[in-house]
A and B are shown apart, each in its own frame.
Chain A
Amino acid sequence: MYQYDQYDQQMVDARVEEFRDQARRRLEGTLTEDQFKPLRLMNGLYLQLHAYMLRVAVPYGTLSSMQMHALADIADKYDRGYGHFTTRQNIQYNWIKLEDAADILADLAKVEMHAIQTSGNCIRNISSDHFAGAAADEVTDPRPYAELLRQWSSFHPEFSYLPRKFKIAVIASDTDRAAMRLHDIGIQIVEKDGTLGAAFYVGGGMGRTPMIAPCINEFVPLDQLVSYAEACLRVYNRHGRRDNKYKARIKILVHEMGAEEYTRQVEEEFAHMLKRGIEPPFAELERIRTYFEDPLFEEGASADIDRSDPDFALWVDRNTVAHKADGYVSAVISLKPVGGIPGDATAEQMHLMADLAKDYSFDELRVMHTQNIVLPHVRKADLHALWTALDEAELGAPNLDTVEDIIACPGLDYCSLANARSIPVAQQISERFAKNGKTEALGQLKLKISGCINACGHHHAGHIGILGVDRKGVENYQLLLGGSEAEDVSLAKITGPGFDEAGIVDAVETAADVYLRERQDGERFLDTYRRIGMTPFKEALYG
């Protein structure tokens, strides 16, 4: 994986000192909270309901064992012994003191990590495919391009006070595991006539006005990638709306201007950028690529798995994914134990995952946008030992992509924006389905819960989505059906009137039952919904 050289280290160290100085001026009172707010946000520090929350960047979701150990140490030293993995492959800590924040950033810098641009109206940490470098279906590893864009976007002087936050995802296969088209810019590395290039999708997003990004350029040559991104951003920085924060994302600009006119302006700016000559030397991309070369996979590793233990066999079936190397799989560690808080991990669990990555996965881990952890390169022969260790630490839940594998935002338990709690709803739903035994029959069913319209829990993209709203001071939950964040991307639709907390759990089961009744061979919940439409679900829910 990528390693800092002295330049990267200098930049991160400088940022720590800058923030230490800013925090000092805030604590002394020379910076007002209004002036300090965008500065702390650009270092990942939010003021939440009960305390400061610090969001740490995990660039393209990739972590080393050493880094995961450091994240665990921070949870122990500065927080309450746990952390929360997020839908943008980052980790956040919920109980941080402002006085400690600079020291935490200094601890992170020692392991080549930071919280730079994990919040604020700037280019955020860049996300990618959690199976990058392992997936059998990728044309190349997308992470070198994400790393190049990380460097380009870090401390970008022109684009640090954008109209609104800006999220970029980079993938390199037709299977979209990163919700690419629901990003401000989604980039898919594609191959054409034996040459790699970048397809640019611009103006997607969730939030209160969800949009699927249109493709504005099907093939940007890789030695013009930065110039094209810079052109996309400049048009947005100049023309994105600043009169209303809810209309300030680039999706609104692309929608109001029209994708065609936006593209025309980008192409005009792009022609200008090419003349400016801002592209990195191609040797830089080559340099970055060397850090992402395959680990030394064992030739002829055994493909046999002893399936005599049924619990283990179920976990293998549900939580492991095909790998490009024979005899290997990617193994998913579920952070969704039945009744647990989606995405949370204790310091002890983080230490264990780090140790297991060292023993079984070439020292590497990935954070998934679905709030689970991947060990990307595991020999099939090691799976039983891995599973045994995970199971003992309550990390062995066999529920990847099932109804129990719920995405949920922190909701009203933590977040100052939320209208309703997400976590208790997620807990009750996973308990309900674990108890009624329908999880297996339901197969792939992506359920996503947001505690407010800002959609951090990706409810628009759930096969089943839940949106918490405030109705006259009472938490109320709307049910949505038919969303997808994958290559078959679609936006979920609201079924009708909302439900109370108990009612929404029943409603999810009712919708699941409609599927079990109506499905045809091989159909997922989403496929059945798309075939039969909303009406049968409405009848069952409200009829």
Chain B
Amino acid sequence: MVDQTPPAEGHGPTTGNLVRYREDDAVDHGAVTVDAFLAQTNASAVRVEPGDDARELIPHLERLALIEVNFPAFGDGRGYSSAQILREAGYEGELRAVGDVLVDQVAYMRRCGFDAFDPDAPLDEDDLEAALSRWPEVYQPAADGRTPIWNKRHA
């Protein structure tokens, strides 16, 4: 299920480090800014920066196939809320974390609804596998839809 896309030639739409957890084909063109997206009508890929309001995209989710959420620095956690908001609004297209995306954050990113990662530096495959299989349970609901412990206790 993991699709390790080979490095793109020249200025491709990805860094070459793309990891996807989706069955469909990756969008093959670059994402535009939120402002550019809202100003035009034909783009199907958009990039959300930390300061952008993800809710502005909600009226247009139907025609989006890819939303990139940029993490210029891994410690800036606004992108997690952006992802949650988009999934809560029903977005089902690709949600890709890009930028300073490190293996120690990917488990939380998956929980918030990201299903693709295109990090600046490649993720070690074994570390990635370990990170995503580590947590047997979850305490709270999130966009991944996993059943929280507190529901399992009273099932």
Contacts and interface: CB of A to CB of B under 8 A. Distances in A.
Interface in A221-271: 226, 234, 237-238, 242
Contacts of B142: 157-158
A237 B135 contact: no
Q: How large is the interface on B (under 10, 10 to 19, 20 to 34, 35 or more residues)?
A: 35 or more
Contact of B102 (A10, A35, A152): A35
Contact of B148 (A21, A242, A280): A280
Interface string B18-59: 000000000000000000000000000000001000000000
B11 interface: no
Nearest to B149: A7
B104 A39 contact: yes
A157 B148 contact: no
A7 B153 contact: yes
A152 B104 contact: no
Interface in B106-155: 107-109, 111-112, 124, 127, 130, 134-142, 148-154
B126 to A, nearest CB: 10
A290 interface: no
B136 A161 contact: no
Contacts of A162: 77
A14 B131 CA distance: 11
A17 interface: yes
B91 interface: no
Contacts of A11: 135-137, 139, 149
Interface residues of A, number: 43
B71 to A, nearest CB: 9
A218 interface: no
Nearest to B111: A157
Contacts of A30: 124
A237 B154 contact: no
A151 B150 contact: yes
Interface string B87-110: 010000000000000101101110
A472 interface: no
A272 B135 CA distance: 28
Nearest to B144: A157
A35 B103 CA distance: 10
Nearest to B138: A155
**Which applies to chain B's interface (DSSP): helix, strand, loop or mixed?**
loop
Contacts of B80: 157-161, 237
B137 A160 contact: no
A284 B140 contact: no
A2 to B, nearest CB: 13
Nearest to A22: B104
A123 to B, nearest CB: 11
B77 A272 contact: no
B70 interface: no
Given A5-B153, A38-B75, A234-B81, A155 B104 contact: no
Nearest to A122: B77
Contacts of B141: 276-278
Contacts, number: 104
Contacts of A14: 134-136
Contact of B75 (A5, A121, A155): A121
A194 interface: no
A156 B140 contact: yes
A234 B104 CA distance: 22
A227 to B, nearest CB: 11
Contacts of B136: 10-11, 14
A439 interface: no
A237 B138 contact: no
B62 interface: no
B45 to A, nearest CB: 23
A237 B134 contact: no
A543 interface: no
B150 A161 contact: no
Most buried by B among A17, A25, A157: A157
Interface in A1-50: 5, 7-8, 10-11, 14, 17-18, 21-22, 25, 30-31, 35, 38-39
Interface in A143-190: 151-152, 154-163
A378 to B, nearest CB: 34
Contact of B108 (A121, A157, A163, A234): A157
Given A7-B152, A280-B151, A151 B137 contact: no
B9 to A, nearest CB: 28
A276 B76 contact: no
A232 to B, nearest CB: 13
A62 to B, nearest CB: 19
B150 A281 contact: yes
A28 B76 CA distance: 26
A283 interface: yes
B140 A238 contact: no
Contacts of A283: 153-154
Contacts of B151: 280-281
A302 to B, nearest CB: 42
A287 B150 CA distance: 10
29 contacts: A5-B153, A7-B152, A11-B136, A21-B130, A31-B104, A35-B74, A38-B74, A151-B150, A155-B108, A155-B135, A155-B139, A156-B140, A157-B107, A157-B111, A157-B142, A158-B80, A158-B142, A160-B108, A161-B74, A161-B75, A163-B77, A226-B140, A237-B77, A238-B78, A272-B88, A276-B88, A277-B141, A281-B151, A287-B154
Interface of A: 5, 7-8, 10-11, 14, 17-18, 21-22, 25, 30-31, 35, 38-39, 121, 151-152, 154-163, 226, 234, 237-238, 242, 272, 276-278, 280-281, 283-284, 287
Interchain residue pairs A-B with the least CB separation, the first 9: A161-B77, A157-B111, A157-B108, A280-B150, A284-B150, A7-B149, A283-B154, A158-B80, A281-B154
